[in-house]
Amino acid sequence: MSGHEKEVVKSHGLETLGIARKAPTHWNPPAPALYEHAVRRGEGLIAHLGPFVVDTGRHTGRSPGDKFTVKEPGSRDRIWWGEHNHPISEESFDRVWDRLRAYLADKELFVQDCYGGADPRFRLPVRVVTQYAWHSLFIRDLLIREHDEDVLREFLPEFTIVDAPEFQADPATDGTRSGTFILINLARKLVLIGGTRYAGEIKKSVFSILNYLLPLRGVLGMHCSANYGADRDDAALFFGLSGTGKTTLSTSPDRTLIGDDEHGWSEDGVFNFEGGCYAKAIRIREETEPEIYDTTRRFGTLLENVVIDPDTRRLDLDSAELTENTRAAYPITHIPHADPAGVAGHPRHIFFLTYDAFGVLPPIARLTADQAMFHFLAGYTSKVAGTETGVNEPQVVFSPCFGGPFLPLHPRVYAKLLGEKIHRHEVRCWLVNTGNTGGPYGVGRRIAMPITRSLVHAALAGELNEIATEPDEAFRLGRLTSCPGLAPDVLDPRASWPDPEAYDRKAAELAARFAENHDRFQA
């Protein structure tokens, strides 16, 4: 324990988990103490101006193939088993847990007691036990903190996450795919993570749990960012997978940020699941993303896999030497135009963001409610290089609800809730392509962020509501024929290609993929 760290005696300690202690346990240490522990343990470097920089090793993104849910009587009939929810037996879970508890007995541990969910009626008390000090800093940045020492002393978690990066599973006896594992036991209210230093697994485990619990109470869990304009009744949602621009587009100096990645939508409005942000940092520019850029120069920010000069401690945000998926984790209070309360009214606008590697979708399109449901269930995008282990260049995918890996329940559950809310609150819906134009990936160019921002701004201001559209039946959208301040050919992807016939072939190819996915999903 550092000299300035205050020890809080816990009423509900690790003995409730059966973890014997032969080494120190640090309870809810603040960021400065975690810096000291992490430096003492050689876990990373303090960069110029104060962020803490770490290397996550061979896992520079999530490992979805190593995530398992325990198949137990209380939840097995609700879980959407298949591609994203792999079953594991209770016996296998117990074998891993028994060995992991013995392993942790003589390891220094760091504990953070915090919440998932800004709305007190739906928040989830979560205890995160980590082997690394920097993992404790990460989750302290990302989840919602409890500052009252009396509450912390009596804190009783509803779920506990135990994270031990240096512990490996044995696939031959444990039923895992490899030594890496993310095991969710909804009956025991326990998550075990091992074999990976990538901290994003911790936060996405909380998201998955909330996505199981909240729909059973009529609350929609959403993989989206959110902000509001003049007041909390002028909210907007931005759905999309990692790398599509959720954080960038929701972080705007003329609007107030609610959160950048995970939200709930109740009968009263939307609320953030988190208390921090987890932004991509690769090639970030002060000129185009000043608020996010500034967080990379702040104490308390955690930078994953950003290249740093060990002598000068200067950062190279342009370098992808370790991965394209460099990340900045920081408390939401690092963003000047953010609302720490994390709540707002019902959204007026919903934007579905896609990185279209084919380069055939328009920069923005207006959607009817039925078209919005089609695109929500399709969840078309391209996985951006580095967001998952083994993804080295964009791959076209369909991820239901723009978050398939984080949906414990069938996508129809979430789609039904979203559809009801869109109709009830008369929400305007848009499809925004933040990917390619002028050709496919490797040939065309990525749509410039200033153009995307101007289109989103025009939509939020109501400037696109009455503009005529040309229907596109293949992709189920309405392509805008004009937009204030932009040339018409910017809105027409076919006009941006040097060879219109090549566009037609590529558009037909993607349209066939949409149809195939729709048929498979319907079946």
Taking the C-alpha atoms of residue 96 and residue 89, their distance in angstroms, rounded to an integer, is: 11
Q: Of the residues 26, 37, 86, 327, which is catalytic?
A: 327
C-beta atoms surrounding 229 within 10 Å: 17
* Catalytic option among 66, 163, 260, 261: 261
The whole-angstrom separation of Cα 329 and Cα 18 is 31
Task: Specify whether 101 is catalytic.
Answer: no
For 137, phi then psi, to 5°, come to -65, -40
| Contact between residue 201 and residue 193 where contact means Cβ atoms under 8 Å apart | yes
Catalytic position from the list 123, 204, 421, 428: 204
Tokens of 347: 């959204």
Most distant CA atoms of the chain, gap in Å: 71
Q: What is the CA radius of gyration of the chain?
A: 23
Q: Is 62 a catalytic residue?
A: yes
d(CA 447, CA 438): 9
Residue from 62, 135, 197, 421 carrying the catalytic annotation? 62
- Compute φ and ψ for 508, nearest 5 degrees: -65, -35
How far, in Å, CA of 479 to CA of 142, rounded?
37
60 is catalytic: no
Q: Please say if 295 is a catalytic residue.
A: no
Alpha helices in 26-107 (DSSP H): 31-40, 90-104
The SS3 of residue 40 is: helix
**Is 121 considered catalytic here?**
no
Burial class of residue 179 in the structure, from the number of CB atoms within 10 Å of its CB (0-12 exposed, 13-18 middle, 19+ buried): middle
127 flagged as catalytic: no
Q: What's at 257, amino acid-wise?
A: L
From 127, 135, 203, 246, the catalytic residue: 246
Q: Which SS3 state, helix, strand or coil, does residue 293 take?
A: helix
Spell out the SS3 assignment of 97-137: HHHHHHHHCCCCEEEEEEEECCCCCCCEEEEEEECCHHHHH
Annotation marks residue 242 as catalytic: yes
Check 56, 247, 256, 381 and give the catalytic one.
247
Tell me which amino acid residue 520 is: R
Candidate list 25, 176, 180, 242, residue with the active-site label: 242
Q: Which residue has 């195939």 as its token pair?
A: 516
Residue 298 corresponds to which tokens in the numbers above? 């702040």
Q: How many CA atoms lie less than 13 Å away from 135 in the CB half-sphere?
A: 29
Count Cα atoms within 13 angstroms, Cβ side, for 368. Answer: 11
Rama region for 175: left / alpha / beta (φ>0; ψ in -120 to 50; rest)? left
Calpha distance 462→276 (Å, rounded): 30
Please pick, among 67, 135, 223, 476, the residue that the annotation labels catalytic: 223
Active site residue 176: no
Catalytically annotated residues: 62, 204, 223, 242, 246-247, 261, 327
